[in-house]
Structure 1
Amino acid sequence: MYDLKLIRETPDVFDEGLKRRNMEPMSAQILDLDKQHRALQAELQEMQARRNEASKQIGIAKRNGEDASDLMAEVAGIKEGMSEKETAESDLGNQIKTILAGIPNRPKDDVPVGEDEDDNVLVRTVGDKPELGFEAKQHFELGEELGEMDFELAAKLSGSRFVVLKGSVARLYRALSQFMIDMHVDEHGYTEVVPPVLVRDHVMYGTGQLPKFAEDSFKTEEGFWLIPTAEVPLTNTVAGEILKEDELPKRMTALTPCFRSEAGSAGRDTRGMLRQHQFDKVEMVSVVHPDKSDDELERMTSCAEDVLKKLGLHYRVVVLCTGDMGFGARKTYDIEVWLPGQDAYREISSCSTCGDFQARRMNGRFRSTETKKPAFVHTLNGSGVAVGRCLIAVMENYQQADGSITVPEVLRPYMGGKESIRLND
C-alpha cells in the first residue's frame, strides 16, 4: 500500500516506479480523486461547524423565548446535505483505497528493469552440475518406477496436480521437512511457529493476496482462505501492533501445507510435483527496522542457500527484473536448483523484501527510541525451501543408474540411517 501523502509530494517518483513495473502513470488520476475527496472533507467540516453553531443559537433562542424555527430548518437542511456528502466522501475514499490496493510495490533502484524471466540477472552460481554418467530420469519416472509416487491414485482422490507419496520416498519428504525447519531454528535463529492455515479476508489483504489475486487461492464456504504460503499468517502476527524497537528483528519460520489454485497455469508442468494445488513449504519471515531490511534480505537468502549447500545441490541465484517480481516485493532473489532430469534450472526458493508495503496494509509498526513516535516496520519473506521441489532436486541429483536414489548424508539421521532408496526396500 502506498502513502498518499508521498504521491502528493512526489508524483513523478511514483509514476517512475510504475513505469519500471511496465505500467502507465497513475498519479494524475489518483491526485484528481484525492483533490475531490479533500474538497468534500473540507465542505463537511464547514457544514459541521455551521450545524454546531446553529444548534447553539437554537438553544439560546429557546432559553430567551424566541422563535427558532428558521434555525431549526437550517439545521435540518444541513443534516440532509451532510448525509449526501458523507456518502460521496466515503465512496471517493473507498475508490482511492481500492486503486492503491491494486498497485504493486515500487521496485528498489538497483532492481533491473525488464518484462519477464528472460530479463532476470544472474548473481552467482554455486557448486557444479553432477556428472551422472547415464541418461537422467525425471523425478516422476524415478518415483513411479520405485512404486512410491502415485499420481493416478491422487487423481482418483482429488483430481489433477496432486500426488500420493509412499514408503521411503514419503519418509524422504518428511526428512527434508524436518531437516530444514531444524536448520532454520537451531542454526539461523528463527523462532518456530505453527500458525493456522485457514485465515480471514483481512489477513490475506495484509500481505497483498487480496483483492487482486483472489483467484489464485482457495476459499471455503465459511469464508476462510486456505493459505498460499505461511508468509500470510506469520507476517500478520504484527498486524495492528506497535512493537518496541528492541523487539526487532523478529524472525519466524514455519512448516505448513500451502494451497494454490494455479490459476492461469493450464498446461504448465502438468506432469510430476513441480506445480501442485497442495504442497508443503518451510517459510521464513522477518520483521525488521527500516534501516536493516537490505541486510536482512542478504541474510535470508543465505539461509535458504544453506539448505541446498548442505544437501550438496548445484544452484544459481538470480535477481528478478521488475516485470517478473511479485506484487508486494521491492527486490527479490530467486534460487534456482539444477534438475538433471529436466536439464534445466528451476526455482526452489524466492526471498523478497517488501519495505513498508505490507506494514501499511496491516498497520504494523514499532516505536522509535529516537523519535518516540510509531513508524512502519519493514517485512521480508522467503522460502526455506519448498519441500516438494527439494524432494525433486534430491531424487534427480542423487539418482543412480539402477534407478535407486542415494540419501544425502545430512538426511540419513532423519531416515533411520538408510543410505539409499531401492525398489522393494
Structure 2
Amino acid sequence: MTTFASSHVPVSHVDPFGLDILENPLPFQADLRDAGPVVYLDRYDVFAMGRYEQVHAALTDWQGFQSAAGVGLSNFRYEKPWRPPSLLLEADPPYHDAPRAVLSKILGPRALQKLRASWLADAEALVDQVLEAGTEFDAVTRLAAAFPLRVFPDAVGIHETGRENLLPYGDHLFNAFGPVNSLVEKGAPRVAELSAWVNAQCTREALSEEGFGAQIWAAADRGDITYEQAPLIVRSLLSAGVDTTVNGLAAVLYAFAGHPDQWERLRANPMLARTAFDEAVRWESPVQTFFRTTTRDIEVGGVLIPDGRKILMFLGAANRDPRRWENPDTFDVHRDPSGHVGFGMGIHQCVGQHVARLESEALLTALVTRVETVEPAGPAQRHLNNTLRSWKSVPVRVISN
C-alpha cells in the first residue's frame, strides 16, 4: 500500500504502540489532540483521530467508517484475519443486525435483573473473604479479576475447568488488534491452545442448559440467527466479556484509592456506584483504541482520507478531550459521564455494557458498606496491551467497618 502524505494533515512519527507510550499514553494523546482533528501516523500508514468530536462522529457513521474490514490494524480487504471475524465487532449491517438483536435482548437491563440479587450476594461473599484475609491486598487480582471470573462464566454457562484461559485469551485478542510487536509475539505460542479451548466452550454440548450461551443457541432454534452464527456469538461473549470488565473494575478501584474524597462521596451516596464506574471508564478508558476503515473518500476536519484507509480512533484521548469535558483529567463521581466513548458509540457500542455496570454496582456496593477508607499501599503496576489500559496490580490498604 502506498504511503500517504499531504501538506494538509499533521504527520506524527511516534509509535502509539511503543511500550513507553502504552505505559503512559496521556502526553502523546494530548499532543495528538493538539495537532489537529486528523493526524497521519507514518509508522503504520494510517490516519488517527484523538478529539472527541471526530471520534464520536466516526463511531456513529458505520456507513462511512466500516468495522467489517477489521477493528484492528489488519485490513481484511487485503489480509486474512487470524480467526473468523467477530459477528458483532467486525461486521456491519445487514450481517451485524441479527446477532446484535439477539445479544441485546439476552444482555439487556431487564434480563439482567434476574442476576442482580445473586451477583450482589456473590460480591458480598468475595469482599468478606478478602477483608478476612487482611486489610492490605491487590485490588486487581483479589477483586477486579476475581469477581468477573466468579460470576460471568457461570452466567454464560461454561464449565469451571479451564476458566483460567479466559484472561490470557482475551489479552492476546486485544493485543492482536495492534501491530505484530513484542506483546503479540509473547502471546503467540499459546494462541492455538487457547483458541481451541475457547471454541470448545461455544458448542451447545459444552454449555449449561441455562445461561447466556444456551439462550443464544435457543435463538438459533427459533431461526433468529443461524446455527453457524451461534458458536461465534458465544465466542464474542468469552472474547470481550471478561478482560474489558476486569480492567473497568480495576480502573474504578484505582481511581478511588487515589481519590479519598470521592470514596467519601460514594459512602455518602452509594447510589452513585454506576455513575462512578462510568466516570472511571471515561477517565481511564479500559479500551483505548479501535480501528475503522473508510468505505469511500471522506473529508474529516479538512483532511481528505481516501477510500479503504485505516483510521485509528483513540477512545482514551477523546474521553479526556477538554473540548468536550470540563477538567477532563479529574476523576469526579458527581460528573455526568454520559456520552463517553469508553464503550464505543453507535450500532457497535459494547453490547455487554449493562453486564459490566451490574458487576461494578455489585462490587462497589459490597465494598462501600464494609470499607471506610481505601488508599494506595504501594505503586500500581501496569500490564501493557496494544488495545487495553490494563493493570498488573493495584496494591491498596483499607480500613473496614
TM-score class normalised by the smaller sequence: under 0.3
Point out the structure with max Rg over C-alpha. 1
Structure with larger RCO (C-alpha < 8 A, sep 6+): 2
TM-score by length of 1: 0.25
Structure having the higher strand fraction is: 1
Structure having the higher helix fraction is: 2
TM-score by length of 2: 0.26
